[in-house]
Chains A and B, each alone.
Chain A
């Protein structure tokens, strides 16, 4: 394997990670499931490509505008659908994602279903890594603030959240908008990496893939999402030799993960220096035969 190949895989994993991080806030921390985030990626991708190609804007502002537009669209969708319970919100996002794709199929300005070639190549491993670090920093700070705790409360028990004075709808909306902005930026990164956009790239399969990564990494764990994105993006690439069979294995693996280890890789825990220390002391305590108070853990 040559260096270019590895850089390529890592860049792709990084682009996926950006979208996964946003979805992690929505799904892992706020407890809302979306099958339409590929739609937000599409909005961000096409918007930022329009900014660089048609308006000649620099890359970073174009990315941010892409994220912003995705967030604005999500706020409209959210206001309409966030009150739907459980399954129905998922279905609404699914419908939204597919509708975006089908609309883009018919927008000749962006090349329609045939696609849009000739987008400048701006995305590289370095800027993807930097953007992801900033994104993780922002996410981690939100999650450990009162706003993050309120989102987690919404995930745990909506009625109890209301009763302790949390505006459930508002926090769902904030979470959806942030996640859409992240997906939009990921779409922009993808557009300027592939140098080509096609509505087909943002299908239901893509949305499902993102959700699967979040669950695989472990709901409510940012480090889990990072690991999940790295493993699940690079593994299929490395398994290219098996071409057709890799998706068979992938589908089977998803089912097996659901029925055997539904808490994902990290099971709600974070990999941080301090958590490593606690883990170490706990293991030491266990060896001494002290009672382990954390029994049960944070499985979801």
Chain B
């Protein structure tokens, strides 16, 4: 019983970080209807920036944390301007966006390998590694921090979307981009904000991930899981992305706890296919009907 509880807590913690990444995929999908595979690269760079701000620059942790989030925020917007805006202007089919995203992702991963090198880097110890004991369950301080920070970020995001003018503009644009543009919403600005938000959370998630594991160029492969989580919940839906992420986190930790960690990734991908087959729009996905 306590083992199950332990797994649930671990799952919740990892799931909340997945959620931070998944909202980035979902926000972009809700507006532009394509899967932004460059997001993984941005998360990876977030982890690297955090690492260098802490070590080489020597910033105190909270400042390094915010600084790397701001850096990836800018980076995500630059990617949008460079790799997607020209396609948007030409009204290119969604596939070109995906390929462009894949190209960006290859570029980001390899520029890190070419400049920094493929070696693993370990974050300096920010939080003590000794866990907090609660009865028979031990909670890692880092896991707890991951959960709290993610929850705060998500709450802020929900507030932003629901209670600010820009948030409402995002909702309207997600509902119908053409009509929103006609109603005087600056959809170009909305797209910038969406990428900025996604980039900001990517930076935070990257640093949390880097602290939990290590930093290496292929970390984007792991971040693909957050994409699966977004599909679980239904691409384009923020609550869906969060629920999907938590579910995936819990399923993963339980699989590796009770079965074997080797099957962890396999189960994630098999689940992905199963969800698509039986509930193609995910748990709470956006439904688009083809009109004749």
CB atoms of A and B under 8 A apart anywhere in the complex?
yes
- List the B side residues contacting A211 at CB < 8 Å: 99
A211 to B96, CA, bound (A): 11
Q: Which residues from chain B contact A91 at a C-beta distance below 8 Å?
A: 35, 231, 272, 276
Complex alpha-carbon distance, A95 and B92, angstroms:
25
Q: How far apart are B113's CB and chain A's nearest CB, in angstroms?
A: 6
- The distance from the CB of B289 to the nearest CB of chain A, in whole angstroms, is 10
Interface majority SS (helix, strand, loop, mixed), chain A: helix
- Give min CB distance, A296 to chain B, whole Å: 14
* Chain A residues with CB under 8 A of B111: 248
Contacts of A92 in B (CB 8 A): 272-273, 276-277
Chain A residues closer than 8 Å to B102, beta-carbon distance = 208, 212, 254
Minimum CB–CB distance for B163 against chain A, Å: 30
Return chain B residues, CB-CB under 8 Å to A255: 82-83, 100, 103-104, 107
Residue A99 interfacial (CB < 8 Å): yes
Q: Contact residue range for chain A?
A: 35 or more
How many angstroms from the CA of A211 to the CA of B113 in the assembled complex? 23
Contact size range, B: 35 or more
Q: Kindly list chain B residues whose C-beta atoms are within 8 Å of the C-beta of A105.
A: 262, 266
Taking a contact as CB atoms closer than 8 A, the residue among B90, B228, B280 that contacts A84 in the complex is B280
B103 touches A254 (CB 8 A): yes
| Interface residue? A9 (CB, 8 A) | no
Closest B residue to A250 by CB, please name it: B106
Question: A61 interface residue, CB < 8 Å from B?
Answer: no
- Nearest-Cβ distance from residue B236 to partner chain A, whole angstroms: 10
B residues near A259, Cβ cutoff 8 Å: 83, 86-87, 100
Closest residue on chain B to residue A93 by CB atoms: B273
Q: How far is the CA of A159 from the CA of B290 in the complex (A)?
A: 9
**B105 & A251 in contact (Cβ 8 Å cutoff):** yes
Q: How far is the CA of A247 from the CA of B107 in the complex (A)?
A: 7
Which residues 252-292 in B have Cβ within 8 Å of A in the complex? 262-263, 265-266, 269-270, 272-273, 276-277, 280, 288, 290, 292
The 10 A-B pairs of least Cβ separation, nearest first, read A254-B103, A251-B107, A251-B106, A247-B110, A95-B272, A244-B114, A102-B266, A259-B86, A255-B103, A99-B269
Interface residues of A (CB under 8 A from B): 33, 80-81, 84-88, 90-92, 95-96, 98-99, 102-103, 105-106, 159, 204-205, 208, 211-212, 215, 244-245, 247-248, 250-255, 258-259, 262, 300
Residues of B with Cβ closer than 8 Å to A?
33-35, 82-83, 86-87, 90, 92-96, 98-100, 102-111, 113-114, 224, 228, 231, 235, 262-263, 265-266, 269-270, 272-273, 276-277, 280, 288, 290, 292
27 contacts between A and B (CB under 8 A): A81-B273, A85-B280, A87-B33, A87-B98, A90-B95, A92-B276, A92-B277, A95-B228, A95-B272, A98-B269, A105-B262, A106-B262, A208-B106, A211-B99, A212-B99, A215-B99, A244-B110, A247-B114, A251-B104, A251-B105, A251-B106, A255-B83, A255-B100, A255-B104, A259-B83, A262-B87, A300-B93
